[in-house]
Amino acid sequence: MPGDLSRLLNALGLIAVDTVLALAFIDQLWFRDLPCPVCILQRAAFTAAGFGLALNLLFGPRPSGYGLTIVGAAVGAAISMRQILTHIVPGSGSYGNEIFGMHLYSWAFIAFALMIVGCGLLLLDDRQFARSEPRSNRLSVLPLAAFVLFVVLAVGNVISTLLICGAGFCPEAPAGYLIFNDNLSLTELAQTL
């Protein structure tokens, strides 16, 4: 597999991660489905897994980049599996909205598993790691867009998590944006103005 094709596949993989993180934001903001602490950790694991693909885009494909993605996805799979197991007994309830008949943590586990398998398949071809010519540092439009969107979503999650949880730990079942209610009393401040 030539280096350029490998870079394109890494860009498509990162766009897939971007899509997952963006859909989580849509579910949170549009459908008002606030993430639980473990759900936030799954988002962080998606960011950890996408990080390796982002490095492959910037520095060219390297086994270590795929390694970061596999480790991040394995951690994410463990976290989502823990949440699935919490609800696996019939009648034990669920958390959040369903999408196409499954909850977000079930989809997350499938996505993490697909990432591990995808990286395994990409690692099968050694030719992408052999540099026959100096690689340009300039990114084409698609990898650049994937990278920039990934950074925006990572920073967006910093802000979102701060708004939901404040500076401390998240409540087990968040009912609203903590920073507006308790920490800074911005809601009361807005009402008085």
Partner 1 sequence: MMSLPFLLFACGLGAAWLRQRGVAMGFWVAGLVVLLVLFRIHMNDVLNIAL
Residue 136 region, left (φ>0) first, then alpha (ψ -120 to 50), else beta?
beta
**Candidates 77-85, 115-123, 128-136, 180-188; binding stretch for partner 1 (CB under 8 A):** 77-85
Contact 57, 11 (CB under 8 A): yes
How, if at all, do strands 102-103 and 98-99 pair? antiparallel
Q: Is 37 in the site for partner 1 (CB under 8 A)?
A: yes
Output the smallest distance, CB 85 to partner 1, in A. 11
Q: Which residues pair with 99 in a beta bridge?
A: 102
State the DSSP code for 102. E
Identify the CA nearest to 38 among candidates 110, 101, 108, 90. 108
Contact residue for partner 1 among 13, 61, 72, 118 (CB under 8 A): 72
Contact residue for partner 1 among 88, 90, 100, 169 (CB under 8 A): 169
**Which residues are at the interface with partner 1 (CB under 8 A)?**
36-38, 40-41, 43-45, 47-48, 51, 54-55, 58-59, 64, 68, 71-72, 75, 78-79, 82-83, 86-87, 91-95, 137, 147, 150-151, 154-155, 157-159, 161-162, 164-165, 167-170, 172-173
